[in-house]
Amino acid sequence: MRSMLTAALCALLAATLLVAALVADAMLASTVVTSPAQAQTLRDQIRIVGSSTVFPFSSFVAEELGKTTSFRTPVVESTGSGGGFKLFSAGVGTETPDITNSSRRIKKSELETCYANGMTSVVEARIGFDGIAIAQNGKNPDFKVSLEQLFLAVAEKVPSKGTLVPNPFKNWKEIDPTLPDRIILIYGPPATSGTRDAFVELVMHKAVKSFPEYEQVLGKDAKDYSAIRQDQAYVPSGENDNLIVQKLVQDKNAFGIFGYSFLEENKDRLKGAVVNGVKPEPKTVSSGEYPISRSLFFYIKADHIGKVPGLKEYVDLFMSEKMIGSRGLLRRIGLIPLPKDQLEQARRNVTTLKRLDPADVK
């Protein structure tokens, strides 16, 4: 009995030593094998990082690639657009991701970092639109609102008698008598989420131009006015959008701001507000009629093509009609397809691996 215990413990110790050595090996192996010339293939698995908005679409395509071809399923991680670019632009080699997803266009500075760190070519792929829905309980009557009215409901300061005052509105009716008699209660994305960024860009920056007061008070900063009220009328709640959905089902007063996919998934019990006379529907978003939408992208490290098996195939699959086409599979999980000509253009960029020039981006 005792000798068995001793033997078992010895075996365990030996195993531990080995693991410890392997750990040390793995920790430092990276420093030994980083020169790209040494290995023809960098990895046998694609690594993708970036925006949490693109994450569901990206992982859907990744899964399709894994299930229908002999390539391994790519690893997709949701790091946020900025975090994605940070990892992506670190250089060329095993450690850096092959693709980064983004819910905004790459910045000039980010692209320059890429090229400064040894990449020769970054290719841009535009995949579609992300609509942002202002959703409410499906049993309510249609809610028609203009961008300006929406702006007045969420802004921290609103114009009043030629100056700006803290937002006094508690009821939609106070903003405009034509709006229904409902308490303003909006569950929206928190400051850290990409949806909030989009909301600020697409609603606040557009609507602020209609009010000269902001320019009078804030000068040239006015066009970037992005402060959202901090009281209970706007409740940031992003971590679990399903909770917002539940709340909307219960509370007929509330509105929720979230990605179009959540509205699509819950269309039996929620409906989107009609903004500037347009309902949020794939058609209206795609045509640009629905005002609160933005483009989604991913960026390919062209230097890795041919070195990471399946990379080209993944990209081609993503850009295919089957995925992002007007009747593609991603539409079912909330991606809004590009209009035909723009899709053709985007696809041409990718198939020819057109290098994105820093001069072309802001």
Q: Which of residues 110-169 bind other proteins (CB under 8 A)?
A: 110, 156
Site string for other proteins, 11-30 (x = CB under 8 A): -xxxxxxxxxxxxxxxxxxx
User: How far lies 83's CA from each of 10, 147, 229, 304, 318, in Å?
Assistant: 45, 30, 27, 20, 22
**12 or 165, CB closer to other proteins?**
12
- What is the residue type of 228? I
The interface region with other proteins, picked from 39-47, 118-126, 131-139, 283-291 by CB under 8 A, is 39-47
Residue 37 binds other proteins (CB under 8 A): no
The binder of other proteins chosen from 7, 41, 68, 252 (CB under 8 A): 68
The residue count for binding other proteins (CB under 8 A) is 102
Q: Where are the beta strands (DSSP E) in 138-178?
A: 144-145, 157-160, 163-166
Residue 351 lies near other proteins (rule: CB under 8 A): no
List CB contacts of 131: < 8 A, sequence separation 6 or more: 259, 260, 280, 285, 290, 292, 293, 336
Does position 321 bind other proteins by CB under 8 A? no
Among 37, 168, 177, 240, binds other proteins (CB under 8 A): 240
The CA R_g of the chain, rounded to the nearest whole Å, is 25
Tell me: does residue 314 bind other proteins (CB under 8 A): no
Quote the CA–CA distance of 270 and 261 in Å, as a whole number: 12
Sorted by sequence, the CB contacts under 8 Å of residue 24 that are 6+ apart come out as: none
With CB under 8 A as the contact rule, the residue among 252, 267, 283, 348 that binds other proteins is 267
Task: Determine contact, residues 135/271, Cβ cutoff 8 Å.
Answer: yes
Binding mask 85-114 for other proteins (x = CB under 8 A): xx--------x-------xx--x--x----
- Does position 305 interact with other proteins (CB under 8 A)? The reply is no
- Binding to other proteins by residue 241, rule CB under 8 A? yes
Tell me the closest approach of the beta carbon of residue 24 to other proteins, in angstroms. 5
Task: Indicate which single residue of 135, 136, 137, 243 sits in contact with other proteins (rule: CB under 8 A).
Answer: 243
Site residues for other proteins, 195-214, by CB under 8 A, read: 196-197, 200
Helices (H) and strands (E) in the chain, counts: 16, 13
**CA pair distance 215, 224, nearest whole angstrom:** 10
